[in-house]
Structure 1
Amino acid sequence: MTKNKKLLIWGVPTVLILATALFLILEGGVVAGGRSYVVKRGKLDASIESVGEVKGEKATEINIPLIIRDRELRIWQIKIVDMVEEGKIVKKGDYVAQLDQTEISNHLRDRMQEKEKRDADLKNARIDSTVRLTQLRQEIANSVLDLEYNKIDLEQSQYESEAYQRKAQMAYQKAEIQVEKRRRDYLLEQNRWKMRVQRHVNQLDWLDGLIARYEEAMEATRIMTPEDGIVMFGTNWNGSKYSKDDEISIWRPLIATLPDMSSVISETYVKEIDISKISKGDSVNITIDALPNKSYAGEVAYIAAIGEDHPGFEMKVFKVIVRFQDRDDDLKPGMTCTNSIVFEHYLDQPLIPLEAVHSDSLQSIVYLKSGGNVTKQPVRLGAENKGMTVVLDGLKEGDRILMNPPEDML
C-alpha cells in the first residue's frame, strides 16, 4: 500500500509535466524566444536612425579676412600655421589662429620690385618727353623764322617780274603750311607723351594701393575672435576638421564658428533611399554619445532639396537639420549624437518579430500554425523597428506563427 502511494505521489506531477510538455510541443510555445509566437496588437514607431553633430542653430562665423580674399592679391589658398584647441572658450578679441604669411610676403616683394621699375620708367618718360617737346618747340621756332624770311621776300618781289612774284608767293604759303604742321605735330606729340606719362603714374598709383593691401593682408593673417564663445573649427573638402598645416581656400573661407547654444540643432545626413519617408516637423528622439543617461526630444526643422556626395556614404545624401526642443547646459557643440527620426506611428496594430518573416516567390510569408496544421500565409508588412514589424494584412491578433519553417516545408 505504501509503495502504491509513493508511486501515486511521484506519478501525478510527472504526468502533469509530460502533459504540459506535450501541449507546448503541439502548440509550438507562446514566447517570441521559442519556436512560435502569438500575434499581439501593440504600438510601433517607424523611424530612421542617423548620426549627427550637435551645433548651435545660430553661430558667429570666423572667415578668412576679406582683404586676403581680394582677387587682385591672387591668394587662392592659405595655410594655417597655428591654432588654438577646438572647444576653447574665448572672449572678444582673443587669438584664434595664425595664417601663413609666406605667399603674401612673396607677392609683396614682387610688387615692390615692380614699383621700383615703374618709378624708373616714369622718370625716363618725363625726361624723354621734355627732350622731345623741346626739340619740337625749336623746330616750330625755326619754321616761324623761315616764314618771316619768306614774308620779307614776298614783299620785295613786287619790284620783280610776275614770275618771281608768283614764286615768292608759293614759297611763303609753303612756309606758312610748315609752321601750322609743326604746331599740330607738337600738340600731337605733347598729348602722346602726356598719355604715356599718365599711364606710368596710374600704374604706380595702382601698385601703391596694391602694396598697401598686401601690407594690410599681412596684418590680417592673425585671426582674432569677433565675439565671446566656444571655438569650433570648420571642415575641409573631405569633411575633416581643420588642423594645423591645413590649407584653406578663399572659395571655402570658413575657419571657425562661435556657436550660440541658446538654440541647439543636430546636423545630420539621410540617404536618398530614405529621404522620401521623412517630412519637416517629424518628431525625433536624440541620444548623445557623451551623455549616455540622457535623451532629448526634437523635430525635423529642415530637409535639403538637393542631394550631395558626403564622406562615409556610398550614395547621395540629403542634409537634415533637427532642432532640439529642450535646452541643456550639458550640450556642447561638436558632440556626436544619434537621431531617431520617427516618420510614422502605428497604434493598436498586429506586431510580429522580423525573425518570423520569410520570403517566397517575391512575397513575404509566415508559417501559420492552426491546431496540428502549418500553412504558408502571405502577409503585407508595414514599417519595422527594434526587431518587430507591423502586419497590415494577412494575420490577426491571437494567430500563432512559427519562428522557423518546419523541416518538411523547406
Structure 2
Amino acid sequence: MSFIKERKFIYLGGALVFLVTFWWFFGSESGEEKNLFASPKRGPFTVEVSTTGELRAKNSTSIRGPEGMREFRIFSVPVQRLVPEGTMVEKGDFVAELDRSEITSSLQDAQLELQEAESEYESSQLDSTLTLSKARDNLINLEYALEEAEIAVEQSKYESPAVQRQVEIDYERAKRKLKQARKNYKTEVRQAEVQLKEIEADLKQEEREVQRIRDIMKDFTIYAPEKGMVIYKRSRRDGSKVTEGSSISAWDPVVAKLPDFSVMNSVTYVNEVDIQKVRKGQKVDIGLDAMPDKKLTGTVTSVANIGEQRPNADSKVFEVIIEVNESDTTLRPAMTTSNTIRINSVDSTLYVPLETIHTRDSTNFVFKREGLAPVMQQVVLGLMNENSAIIHEGISSTDQLYLSTPADTTNIKKEYLSQEVLKKYKQQKDEAESGDNSAKKRTTRPVKGSN
C-alpha cells in the first residue's frame, strides 16, 4: 500500500515539473514570439570573396585574318568554314575559310579600272605617235621650204634690189619657222613623255591595286602560324565565340588563338560591392568544376578600374585576372573555376552572426540578454565576411545576443561605449583606410585614354 502511494507522489511530482516547464517555455511569453539567441564565438576569422571564373592562357599566339580590308571598304567578313575548336594543328595547317564574295566584287571593280587605264595608255601612245609624226612631217616640209628660199636668194642676184630684198625676207621667214618648229617639236616630245608617264603611273597603280586584292584574297584562307590547340576568339560584348556564320571585324581580324598552357589565368568578374576589397597580390584558392579533387592556388595580377555590364548580370562587374601558380597538363582553356580570394584573416578574435547587428543613426549595436530583459548595447565593428562580423568592443564571449529585434523595445535599457574607446577605434580605422588608399594608388594603372 505504501508503494502505491509513493508511485502516486512520483507521478504527481512529474506532472508538476512538466506543467512548470510548459509554462516556462510557452506561458511565460504571454503569446509573444519566442526569441532566438546566439553567443559570440572566439577563433580564427577570414574575409573572402568567392567568384566563378574561366581558365585562359596567359600568353597565346593570335591566328589572324587578312589585314588591310578597310582599304577596300570591307569592314566585316563572314566565316564560311572552321576546324573544330580544340583541334591540335601544326604550323601551316588549315584553320578557317572566310567568305570572298565582297572582296571578289572589289577585285572585279579594280580589274575594270585596270582595263580602262590600259586603254587610256594605249590611246595616249597612239595620239602621241600621230601628233609627233605630223610634227616631224611639218619639220621636213619647213626644211624643204627653207632650201627653196635659199635657192631663190641665190637666183635673185640678177634681179632688182627690191626683188632681192623680198627674197631675203622670205628666206629669213622660212629660217625662223623651221627654228620655231624644231623648238616646238622638242616641247611636244617632252609633253608626250610626261603625259605618258602620268598615264603609265595610273596604270601601274591600278595593277598594284589588283595585285593587292589578289594577295589579300589569299589570306581569306587562314592557316596556323605555329603548332598548338585552336581556341576561337570570344567577344567581349556578349561572350560569344567565333563560329561558322559569324563575322570577323576588319579592325580586329583575330579568328582564334593558340594558347600557351605553361601559364594559365582564371578570368573572373567581381561585383561592385566586393571589388573594393580586392587588390593585386592577394592569394586565391582555386578549384576546378571538372576535377573537384584538384586544388590549385593563384595570385590576383589585375583588377579592372572600370566596370562593365555582363550578360545575365543585374549590376556592373569588374574583371579580375588571377594567375594560376601551378603548371598542370590537364588544365585547358574555358574550364570553369571556383575562386576564393583571401582578403584578410585574423588568427583569433571575437565575432558574431550578422543577424545580431543593427544600425540606427550611424550607431552599431546589438541586443543582449540580461536576465529576462534585453539591453541595447553599442558595439565597435571590425572586419566582416558573408556571415559574421568581428566585435572589438561592447560584448564578451559569455553574452547571449538576440538574433532578431525584441518584440518590445519601448523602454529598453541602452548602454553606450565611452568616447575614449570610440575615438581610439575611429583613429585606427582612419589610419587603415589611409593605408589602403595609398596602396590602391600605387597598384592602380592609368585608364587607357584618360587624361
TM-score interval, normalised by the smaller of the two chains: 0.7 to 0.9
Quickly say closer, same or farther: Cα 1:82–1:195, change in 2 above 3 A: same
> Could you tell me whether the CA contact under 8 Å between 2:378 and 2:394 is conserved in 1?
yes
Quickly say closer, same or farther: Cα 1:158–1:348, change in 2 above 3 A: farther
The answer for the alignment partner of 2:230 in structure 1 is 231
Partner amino acid, structure 2, of 1:185: N
Partner amino acid, structure 1, of 2:194: M
Quickly say closer, same or farther: Cα 1:137–1:35, change in 2 above 3 A: same
TM alignment of 1:124-143, pairs within 5 A:
124-143=123-142
Find the aligned partners of 2:211 and 2:231 in 1 and give their Cα distance.
32
Partner amino acid, structure 1, of 2:128: S
Quickly say closer, same or farther: Cα 1:387–1:19, change in 2 above 3 A: farther
Shift of 1:335: 1.4
Find the aligned partners of 2:166 and 2:9 in 1 and give their Cα distance.
169
The answer for the alignment partner of 2:211 in structure 1 is 212
> Could you tell me whether the CA contact under 8 Å between 2:117 and 2:206 is conserved in 1?
no
Quickly say closer, same or farther: Cα 1:310–1:13, change in 2 above 3 A: same
SS at match of 1:111: helix
Q: Aligned pair 1:331/2:327, yes or no?
A: no
The answer for the alignment partner of 2:40 in structure 1 is 39
Segments of structure 1 that go 5 or more residues without pairing to the other structure are 29-33
The answer for the alignment partner of 1:396 in structure 2 is 396
Quickly say closer, same or farther: Cα 1:16–1:220, change in 2 above 3 A: farther
Range with bigger deviation, 392-401 or 140-149: 140-149
Shift of 1:19: 8.1
Q: Aligned pair 1:54/2:36, yes or no?
A: no
Find the aligned partners of 2:175 and 2:315 in 1 and give their Cα distance.
88
The answer for the alignment partner of 2:184 in structure 1 is 185
Q: Aligned pair 1:77/2:76, yes or no?
A: yes
Quickly say closer, same or farther: Cα 1:44–1:397, change in 2 above 3 A: same
The answer for the alignment partner of 1:31 in structure 2 is none
Deviations 1:360-392 (A, max 9, x none): 234433212222331223334344334222234
SS at match of 2:346: strand
Deviations 1:85-107 (A, max 9, x none): 22233343333221111112222
> Could you tell me whether the CA contact under 8 Å between 2:69 and 2:250 is conserved in 1?
no
TM alignment of 1:359-370, pairs within 5 A:
359-370=359-370
SS at match of 1:408: coil
The answer for the alignment partner of 1:86 in structure 2 is 85
Quickly say closer, same or farther: Cα 1:368–1:170, change in 2 above 3 A: farther
Find the aligned partners of 1:265 and 1:10 in 2 and give their Cα distance.
72
Quickly say closer, same or farther: Cα 1:175–1:354, change in 2 above 3 A: farther
Partner amino acid, structure 2, of 1:75: I
* Richer in strand (by share): 1
> Could you tell me whether the CA contact under 8 Å between 2:78 and 2:248 is conserved in 1?
yes
Deviations 1:62-86 (A, max 9, x none): 11144xx355444322111121222
TM alignment of 1:259-278, pairs within 5 A:
259-278=259-278
Quickly say closer, same or farther: Cα 1:149–1:263, change in 2 above 3 A: same
Segments of structure 2 that go 5 or more residues without pairing to the other structure are 30-34, 411-451
Deviations 1:236-255 (A, max 9, x none): 34331111100110212221
Find the aligned partners of 2:131 and 2:66 in 1 and give their Cα distance.
49
> Could you tell me whether the CA contact under 8 Å between 1:73 and 1:210 is conserved in 2?
no
> Could you tell me whether the CA contact under 8 Å between 1:40 and 1:398 is conserved in 2?
no
Find the aligned partners of 2:163 and 2:377 in 1 and give their Cα distance.
135
Higher relative CO (Cα under 8 Å, sequence separation at least 6) belongs to 1
The answer for the alignment partner of 2:352 in structure 1 is 352
Range with bigger deviation, 280-289 or 150-159: 150-159
Range with bigger deviation, 176-185 or 36-45: 176-185
Deviations 1:323-345 (A, max 9, x none): 11223343221112232222222
Scaled by the length of structure 1, the TM-score of the pair is 0.83
SS at match of 1:243: coil
The answer for the alignment partner of 2:437 in structure 1 is none
Shift of 1:314: 5.8
Shift of 1:275: 3.4
SS at match of 1:117: helix
Shift of 1:257: 1.2
Range with bigger deviation, 244-253 or 153-162: 153-162
Shift of 1:199: 2.6
> Could you tell me whether the CA contact under 8 Å between 2:70 and 2:250 is conserved in 1?
no
> Could you tell me whether the CA contact under 8 Å between 2:379 and 2:393 is conserved in 1?
yes
Shift of 1:292: 3.5
Range with bigger deviation, 363-372 or 308-317: 308-317
Scaled by the length of structure 2, the TM-score of the pair is 0.76
Deviations 1:144-180 (A, max 9, x none): 4445555666778888888888777766665555444
Shift of 1:58: 1.6
Find the aligned partners of 2:148 and 2:318 in 1 and give their Cα distance.
94
The answer for the alignment partner of 1:63 in structure 2 is 64
Find the aligned partners of 1:2 and 1:77 in 2 and give their Cα distance.
102
> Could you tell me whether the CA contact under 8 Å between 1:296 and 1:326 is conserved in 2?
yes
> Could you tell me whether the CA contact under 8 Å between 2:283 and 2:342 is conserved in 1?
yes
Shift of 1:281: 1.0
Shift of 1:117: 2.0
